[in-house]
Chains A and B, each alone.
Chain A
């Protein structure tokens, strides 16, 4: 009798064990997130964790349209007032209710906390009013077309006001998303567990979600292949072919809303006083010297679609007439001759990463044929930012993860006082057009403004765009229902293991 019970017990134990572990989703991240406080967080991977941890007022669809999340509807009651109706019955992870007072507390904190990084995103908000228990009105100092998209990201994430009062919120975040915070071991993992009182709990299928930062792309993929992970973000392009052929993995890429390009120092200090920095013909020649298709093929293995403008192809603000130019060495040489220069020397600075290194090497080789003598200057990211701000560069290789609203992809980079305008390019007409575009909500009118700005920018070329940043996800075969979004975030609604 005893003998026959044993295998039964073993089977039950195994089944229970595997059932419990089947409920945990393990995700491999490219790096360790920083502080887990949406108002003070800076990293891309931090946003990935927040997507599961913190709900926001509105979310986006894969087509970049806005949909309700914590807010059920919103209207512009007048051009400078945005009114939200909140979803009833929503609780924070500590049981506190979501109401207008809570929303007001959150947005006020985002605007006034000394080290809040969301201040410029909410720069147009003058005051927040709790109209009634479930209605909030944001009063603006100026018309702002970008506000909705800001509230679909960290600026619109809602945290429990009670928890916000404690000083170590960043270490123990209390939020409103489908999963709640359990623990975090720096450099090792972040563990979330299912929040039972979530307003849409039925669509979320895992008991636990574990984020594991594994910076080395080879090791991260090895973990997935070996079964230690269930999915990962940012597959290295060099592994794309192998993953496609692997029947135990699913390759799930999406074209992102960000880009990778070259910033040219046109106006920041002494080093801008070069033919490249001063003469747009030289910059145009450089653009013609680069073969984006080769970069896509050799480095990107086909997943780096060429870019000629900051707006992705899925964006309504993308215009065909600004599509990426094909390589034309003859034209490049002609332009250089017109500009009266023979050979152009400059330093190409880039952060140390294998992909960027390859791109830089390719650009060096290609541009040499047209008359450019490039010296490669790989620099640590930390040092690079400071040097960029101080103007100690000729050309930087830069990447931008992208923002849903077109303003986020262009304004900070090319306006005279733009915070990310390292080259300090300054054209009052461009400023005027882009500032106006921020206030216009009508899509067609806005596009006209962006087109007009682009016409100038494509001619003066302070930035040369290379390719659109893809988000290459890889999943274990058993992971079903995952849809990659252009913003690169991992939304777990409807995702489950196949049985």
Chain B
């Protein structure tokens, strides 16, 4: 078991390195001069020259890369070119927000996706199956930002039920914090619900078709409820592993949702940094999310192997 984990970690290292190169190169390729963006409306040539030197923007790219990577390995992720705030501070400050949003969204996805998947599998081929299908897929089919704005218009402006946007830390006001999370979590979660539903459905179908269940059914041994319990228990494993992977997908979806609801999480941070050509922020944050994603993958693989002892000694 430990050997398996060690092997996987070893494989992850070159992957992370490639991510760092990829992200770095992509940033450098973006057109525009970050210093000019920094200079805002005024453009004092002396200052531009100073900034270029300070951030070593004139050095050849490989040199800049190694300078950056060596700093990263020492724990220094650089400073936001725009606000002077250290990238690490930004990340640590926004991580809890993003995680909270992710957890809430996962809850929404689970609440919608799993029952829909079960219903769909058990009642396969009937109109219930189709209905559940369509409902789950609807969440995926509506563009995030549109659903977000619609909700804001209705729920916040017209009905005045929830705050329109923004974020309040739970330490400050727990109830308000939850209120600010409800709509964005809903928008994000409905998008994930479809994936969860699909996998729940196929996992359940797989189990329901399996020999021992069929035999038991044929013999009339098991009641419906008991079948469900057995099926669910076995289907749970792939569902759990999928959930860990979905955390990664959440970040992609969060990008727009955070823009609309002005949630100060990773998504908004990255998008703003790309448009502001705030190199250090983009590089630092994407590297962190990539590492996080890879760790999630590792966790998922480990969980899967743990739950399925037959795989432990394969390969």
Contact = CB atoms under 8 A, between A and B. Distances in A.
B40 A42 contact: yes
A419 B33 CA distance: 16
How many interface residues does chain A have, given as a range?
Answer: 35 or more
A225 interface: yes
B66 interface: no
Contacts, number: 147
B207 to A, nearest CB: 45
A222 B165 contact: yes
A444 interface: no
Interface string B141-157: 00000000100110011
Contact of A382 (B164, B166, B262, B275): B275
A44 B42 CA distance: 11
B275 A223 contact: no
Interface string A218-233: 1100110111100000
A386 B165 contact: no
A219 B165 contact: yes
A117 B262 contact: no
A385 B277 CA distance: 12
Contact of B36 (A170, A218, A223, A389): A389
B15 to A, nearest CB: 29
Contacts of A400: 41
Interface in B37-56: 37-47, 50-51, 54
B164 A34 contact: no
A310 interface: no
A226 B42 contact: no
B45 A219 contact: no
Interface in A86-121: 114-117, 119-121
A419 B43 contact: yes
B88 to A, nearest CB: 13
Nearest to A169: B84
A187 interface: yes
A186 B90 contact: yes
Contacts of B82: 34-35
Contact of B50 (A34, A115, A385): A115
B163 to A, nearest CB: 5
Given A42-B38, A222-B152, A420 B259 contact: no
Nearest to A401: B41
Interface stretch (B67-75, B264-272, B296-304): B264-272
A120 B44 contact: yes
Interface residues of B, number: 49
A216 B258 CA distance: 11
Given A187-B272, A213-B262, A226-B157, A219 B164 contact: yes
B254 to A, nearest CB: 13
Contacts of A188: 166-167, 262, 264
Contact of B42 (A36, A168, A223, A419): A419
A168 B84 contact: yes
Contacts of A386: 31-33, 36
Contacts of A387: 31-32
A385 B37 contact: yes
A228 B163 contact: yes
B160 interface: yes
B83 interface: yes
Contacts of A225: 156-157, 164
Nearest to B258: A187
B67 to A, nearest CB: 19
A215 B166 CA distance: 12
A213 B90 CA distance: 16
B206 interface: no
A37 B38 CA distance: 14
B222 to A, nearest CB: 53
B156 A222 contact: yes
Kindly name the residue among B34, B37, B51 whose own CB sees the greatest number of chain A CB atoms within 10 A.
B37
Contacts of A222: 152-153, 156-157, 164-165
15 contacts: A32-B272, A35-B82, A41-B40, A42-B39, A44-B41, A114-B50, A121-B42, A218-B149, A219-B260, A222-B152, A223-B166, A228-B165, A380-B31, A383-B32, A419-B42
10 interchain residue pairs of minimum CB distance: A42-B40, A188-B264, A382-B32, A383-B32, A226-B156, A383-B31, A386-B33, A170-B84, A223-B164, A385-B36
Given A42-B42, A43-B40, A223-B166, 7 more contacts: A36-B83, A114-B50, A119-B47, A170-B84, A189-B166, A222-B156, A222-B165
